[in-house]
Amino acid sequence: MAAAAALGATIIVAALSWITIYAIEKNNMEQADQQLELASQIVLIEPVLSVGVLEFLGANKNLAITVRNDQGQIASTAVQLPSLPLGSETVEVNGLSYRILTTDTNQPPGRIVSLGIPTAQTAQATADQRRWVLIAAVVAAVAAAGLGWLFGGRAVRPIEDLTKQVDRRRPTGGSGAPLPVDGSGVAEAEKLAEAVNTMLERVDRAQTETAAALETARDFAAVSAHELRTPLTAMRTDLEVLRTLDLDEAQRTEILTDLQRSQDRVEATLGALERLAAGDLTHQRDHVETDVAELCDAAAHDAMRHFPELKVHVDTDAELVTRGLPTGLRLAIDNALTNSVRHGRASEALLSAHRAPDGHIVISVDDNGRGIPEAERDAVFERFFRGSQATKGGSGLGLALVAQQAQLHGGRAYFEDGMLGGARLVLDLPLPGSVPD
């Protein structure tokens, strides 16, 4: 700031100094011309006589006169001035600078008078004045630098402090203390502090989310590996038995059936993991207008086609449109119906969807199956958890997918007592505007 102030002042002062010096030189030269004009009014009355008078008085050092006509020089002081065109001009005579006025005013035809005065005093005065101007320019530049350092430093100090605070700040578990906005009166510094605090808050939040995502990914990978290890170990054991033992047809059939069951379990688990990963990658921009009633009708129809022993009744509002993930909602409903048949042994289910007075959309699946113990109603939504009523061979991810989709829509999934004697799975989905990004 100080250097910028000094540089700006230097440029301005240099320009003003050049103009001032030019004006001084011009003014001093005009003063010399005025002296010559004043002397000419006396000398031109009788220039030849004036030359003699000046020689007699010894004043020819301050004023030189030379008179010429068509034949040549008529008279001259000791300093003989050169022949010049009419007008004023500065020339060097005998090593000295003279300001010369050449004129034929009030003279007979053909006669020209040249008057000259030394410019040494004028040059000395100009040099002195130039020196003072240059000194003033240097003082102005130094003063500008000092004032720039004083006032500029005061203005920049909050930003400098802010820079030091940002440099000293270290992330501590994704939460750092905000930088102080000290109210220094410098609007830019205060706005910058607020902007930096906002940026650091976002960075901290992103670091926290990244750390949580990495931790979740590690746990998810570890649990997934554990869940897949059991069926893969069983498959390896069955393959070793098939390769090393001489089995009869019934034993081979039993081993192959067990292999097929393990393979189905691995395939189901991998498919569920893939759907969970896809759900984790969804974004608010993926939400579109979704007809929940139409989606429930299609899910009920497909469930009865896949499970002929299941009868599904549908009860929905006529117009039930919201913004959501059609594939995700369909996946949640399909998993709920599949869970009722495979683990609840249900033969009848009621699929309903209505808009609550607060605007929420409530989707529920009631069945006449074995139900879920009240103590397990929260735990069954955890990944790889299998309830006490669950059948063997499940992946433990079906209800986790339901809970994930409810969360992606800003809502929740929970169990309560059913109206048909079994379990009742509820998806409570809030207004579209409340869905988090």
Confidence (pLDDT) at 351: 92
* Amino acid at position 154, single letter: R
Burial bucket for residue 347 (CB in 10 Å: 0-12, 13-18, 19+) = middle
Tell me how far apart the alpha carbons of residues 240 and 21 are, in angstroms, rounded to a whole number: 108
Confidence (pLDDT) at 365: 92
> Is residue 358 over pLDDT 80?
yes
Say which residue the tokens 């809970």 belong to: 403
Tell me if 193 sits within 8 A of 180, measured CB to CB: yes
Q: How confident is the model at residue 46 (pLDDT cuts 50, 70, 90)?
A: confident
Confidence (pLDDT) at 66: 85
Average pLDDT over residues 315-335: 84
Confidence (pLDDT) at 174: 44
Q: Give the lowest-confidence range in 129-143, 239-253, 385-399.
A: 385-399
Confidence (pLDDT) at 192: 75
Q: Give the lowest-confidence range in 42-46, 69-73, 92-96, 302-306.
A: 42-46
> Is residue 226 over pLDDT 60?
no
Q: How confident is the model at residue 40 (pLDDT cuts 50, 70, 90)?
A: confident
Bridge partners of 312?
349
> Is residue 172 over pLDDT 50?
no
Per-residue H/E/C for 188-217: HHHHHHHHHHHHHHHHHHHHHHHHHHHHHH
CATH number attached to the domain at 283-434: 3.30.565.10
> Is residue 256 over pLDDT 90?
no
Average pLDDT over residues 156-168: 72
Mean pLDDT of the chain: 78
Q: How confident is the model at residue 79 (pLDDT cuts 50, 70, 90)?
A: confident
Query: Regarding predicted confidence, which is higher, 322 or 388?
Result: 322
Confidence (pLDDT) at 221: 64
Query: Regarding predicted confidence, which is higher, 374 or 310?
Result: 310
Q: How confident is the model at residue 143 (pLDDT cuts 50, 70, 90)?
A: confident
Query: Regarding predicted confidence, which is higher, 175 or 53?
Result: 53
Average pLDDT over residues 154-181: 64
Q: How confident is the model at residue 436 (pLDDT cuts 50, 70, 90)?
A: very low
Tell me how far apart the alpha carbons of residues 176 and 163 are, in angstroms, rounded to a whole number: 15
Percent of the chain exceeding pLDDT 90 equals 6
What size, in residues, is the chain? 437
Whether 2-139 shares its CATH topology with 283-434 is answered no
Tell me how far apart the alpha carbons of residues 65 and 43 are, in angstroms, rounded to a whole number: 9
CA angle 356, 358, 362 (to 5 degrees): 35
Confidence (pLDDT) at 435: 46
Q: What is the DSSP letter of 148?
A: I
What is this structure's pTM?
A: 0.44
Average pLDDT over residues 365-375: 86
> Is residue 99 over pLDDT 60?
yes
For the stretch 394-432, pLDDT in tens is: 556 678 878 888 888 888 889 888 888 888 899 998 866
Q: How confident is the model at residue 348 (pLDDT cuts 50, 70, 90)?
A: very high
Write down the domain spans for the chain: 2-139, 170-281, 283-434
Confidence (pLDDT) at 352: 92
Tell me if 107 sits within 8 A of 26, measured CB to CB: no
For the stretch 107-136, pLDDT in tens is: 888 888 888 888 877 777 778 888 888 888
Q: How confident is the model at residue 169 (pLDDT cuts 50, 70, 90)?
A: low
For the stretch 100-112, pLDDT in tens is: 888 888 888 888 8
Q: Give the lowest-confidence range in 69-73, 261-265, 306-310, 406-410.
A: 261-265
CATH number attached to the domain at 2-139: 3.30.450
Q: How confident is the model at residue 311 (pLDDT cuts 50, 70, 90)?
A: very high
